[in-house]
Structure 1
Amino acid sequence: MALYTLREVLEKAEKGKYSVGMFNVLNVEMLRGIIGAAEELRSPVIIALAEVHLPFVDFEDISHLMIKAAKDADVPVVVHFDHGQSFENIVKAIHYGFTSVMIDASMESFDENVRRTKEIVKIAKVLGVSVEAELGHVGGSEGSSETTFAPEDYYTKVEDAKKFVDSTNIDALAVAIGTVHGEYKFTPKLDFKRLEEIKKSVNIPLVLHGGSGLSDDDFKKAIKYGISKINIFTDMSLAAVNSIEELLECKCNKINCEGCFGLNKPDKEKLIEIIVKKVVQEIKEMDKKERKVTYPDIIQASMEGIKEEVKKKMRVFGSVNKA
Structure 2
Amino acid sequence: MALVTLKYVLENARKNKYAVGSFNFFGLENLRGIVKAASENKSPVIAMASTGAVKVMGEKVVVVAAEKLSEEYGVDIVLHLDHCKDDLEMLKRCVDNGFTSVMIDASAYDYEENVRQTRLAVEYASRTGCSVEGEIGHIGGVEDEIVVSECEALFTVPEDAARFVADTGVDALAVAVGTVHGFYKLPPKLDFDRIKKIHELTPVPLVLHGGTGVPDDDFRKAIPLGVLKINVGTELKVNGYFNVMKDFTPQVKNSDPRKVALKIVDKCSEIVTEKINVFGSADRL
**Structure 1 residue 205 corresponds to structure 2 residue 186:** no
- Residue type matched to 2:76 in 1? P
Q: 1:293, 1:127 → 2: CA distance?
A: 44
Summarize deviations over 1:168-200 as a string: whole Å, max 9, x none. 111000100011111111111111100000000
Cα distance, 1:2 vs. partner? 2.6
Aligned position for 1:13: 13
Q: Which residue of 1 aligns with 2:100?
A: 99
Amino acid at match of 1:307: S
Aligned residues: 282
CA distance in 2, matches of 1:178, 1:139: 8
1:171 matched to 2:133? The reply is no
TM-score (norm 2): 0.92
- What are the residue-to-residue correspondences of 1:172-251 with 2, within 5 Å? 172-240=172-240, 241-247=242-248
Aligned pair 1:294/2:259, yes or no?
Answer: no
Alignment check: 8 A CA contact 1:64 1:96 kept:
no
Structure-1 separation of matches of 2:220 and 2:247: 30
1:320 — aligned with what?
Answer: 282
Which residue of structure 2 aligns with residue 305 of structure 1? 267
- For residues 214 and 101 of structure 1, what CA distance do their matches in structure 2 show? 24
The Cα offsets for residues 114-139 of structure 1, whole Å up to 9 and x where unpaired, read as 11111111111121111110010112
> What secondary structure is seen at the aligned counterpart in 1 of 2:181?
coil
Q: Partner of 2:180: helix, strand, or coil?
A: coil
* C-alpha displacement of 1:244: 4.3
- Please report how far the alpha carbon of residue 95 of structure 1 lies from its aligned counterpart in structure 2 after TM superposition: 1.1
The equivalent of 2:121 in structure 1 is: 120
Match in the other structure for 1:32: 32
Describe the SS at the equivalent of 1:306.
helix
Identify the residue that residue 78 of structure 1 maps to in structure 2. Answer: 78
1:51 maps to what in 2?
51
Asked if the contact 1:239/1:302 (under 8 Å) is kept, the reply is: no
Q: Distance in 2 between matches of 1:297 and 1:94?
A: 35
Deviation at 1:74, TM superposition (A): 1.7
Give the TM-score normalised by structure 1. Answer: 0.82
The residue type paired with residue 81 of structure 1 is L
Cα distance in structure 2, aligned partners of 1:166 and 1:20: 24
Please tell me whether the aligned partners of residues 135 and 175 of structure 2 are also in contact (alpha carbons under 8 angstroms): yes
CA drift of 1:218 comes to 1.4
Please state whether the residue corresponding to 1:49 is helix, strand or coil.
Answer: strand
Structure 1 residue 239: Cα displacement: 2.3
Q: In structure 2, how many angstroms separate the alpha carbons of the residues matched to 1:126 and 1:60?
A: 18
Counterpart for residue 263 of structure 1? none
Counterpart of 1:3 in structure 2 is 3
Task: Tell me: CA distance 1:148–1:160, structure 2 relative to 1, closer, same or farther (3 Å).
Answer: closer
**CA–CA separation in structure 2 for the residues paired with 1:147 and 1:311:** 30
Q: What percentage of aligned pairs have identical amino acids?
A: 41
Structure 2 counterpart SS, 1:80 = strand
Partner deviation per Cα, 1:274-313 (whole Å, 9 max, x = no partner): xxxxx5xx98xxxxxxx37532221111111111000000
State the Cα distance separating 1:143 from its structure 2 match.
Answer: 7.7
Contact 1:134/1:174 (8 A) holds in 2: yes
CA distance, structure 1, for counterparts of residue 277 and residue 262 of structure 2: 23
Higher RCO, 1 vs 2 (CA within 8 Å, ≥6 residues apart) = 2
Please tell me the root mean square deviation across aligned C-alpha atoms, in Å: 2.1
Corresponding residue for 1:108? 109
SS in 2 for 1:126: coil
Aligned ranges for residues 240-279 of structure 1 at < 5 Å? 240=240, 241-247=242-248, 279=250
Q: Which runs of 4+ in 1 moved over 6 A?
A: none
Q: Work out the CA distance in 1 between the residues paired with 2:115 and 2:103.
A: 13
State which structure, 1 or 2, has the greater radius of gyration over its C-alpha atoms.
Answer: 1
Contact kept, 8 Å, 2:52 with 2:144, in 1: the verdict is no
